[in-house]
A = this chain, B = another copy of it.
Amino acid sequence: MARRSDHTRDELKDIILSASWDIVKKDGFAGLTARHIAKDINYAAGTIYNVFPAMDDLYLAVNGMTLDKLYAVLSSPDCTAHSAPPIQNIKKMAHLYRDFTKTYKPHWLMLFTYTLPDGKKAPEWYQAKVTRLFAPLETLLKPYYTQKPDRHRKMAARILWASVHGLCFLEETGKTPLITPQDSLSEMTGYLIDCFVAGIESK
């Protein structure tokens, strides 16, 4: 039996989340059960409910970790170089997103396969993490919107983001290859960005 003072409540929370992260990596979202976590961290299942009132809260917390990791990737200097042309940075960002979906596939999938029960809304902190994801792309789009309304730039960021995501999601879960060659995805995101950006400039 685990001792009461083995870990503080915050430490315990970290331990639970860390174990959860590893379980999702190995067995996917389906393998993330209270009893499985408890066994890995040498506690009883009930203890988890002292830290997370329900498993749904834990799921959201794990998704929060994934969103943080994704934000860190999209904020990387790799795709915010001022020397490079903007469109190149945008393509780089799309590539980083695609890489993320492959490197953290189970965690990335869990972001979307877990949905809140019935009519529940996501907590404030979670929504903030989602919204934050658009910021890096909004910045990259600035050069194209010096003479255009800011609202259009925000829209463009969300559109591009959703498009790249949609392509990756269909590739991973559409249960069918999008087009014959294996890595046609980078070709498609490239084509998407080329056309969309050219469309912005021509309007």
Contact = CB atoms under 8 A, between A and B. Distances in A.
A19 interface: no
A190 to B, nearest CB: 10
A188 B155 contact: yes
Nearest to A133: B174
Interface stretch (A33-41, A42-50, A68-76, A165-173): A165-173
Interface stretch (A1-9, A10-18, A77-85, A124-132): A124-132
A99 interface: no
A52 interface: no
The interface centre, meaning the residue of A154, A166, A191 with most chain B CB atoms within 10 A of its CB, is A166
B179 A154 contact: yes
B28 A173 contact: no
A51 interface: no
A55 interface: no
A131 B199 contact: no
Nearest to A31: B118
Contact of A187 (B155, B173, B179, B203): B155
B179 A155 contact: yes
Given A117-B30, A174-B130, A175-B126, A159 B112 contact: no
A158 B173 contact: no
B113 A191 contact: no
B163 A115 contact: no
A187 B131 CA distance: 19
Contacts of A173: 112, 115
A113 B113 contact: yes
18 contacts: A28-B118, A112-B173, A122-B176, A130-B175, A131-B176, A154-B179, A155-B179, A155-B188, A156-B191, A156-B195, A158-B170, A159-B163, A162-B167, A162-B169, A162-B170, A195-B195, A195-B203, A196-B199
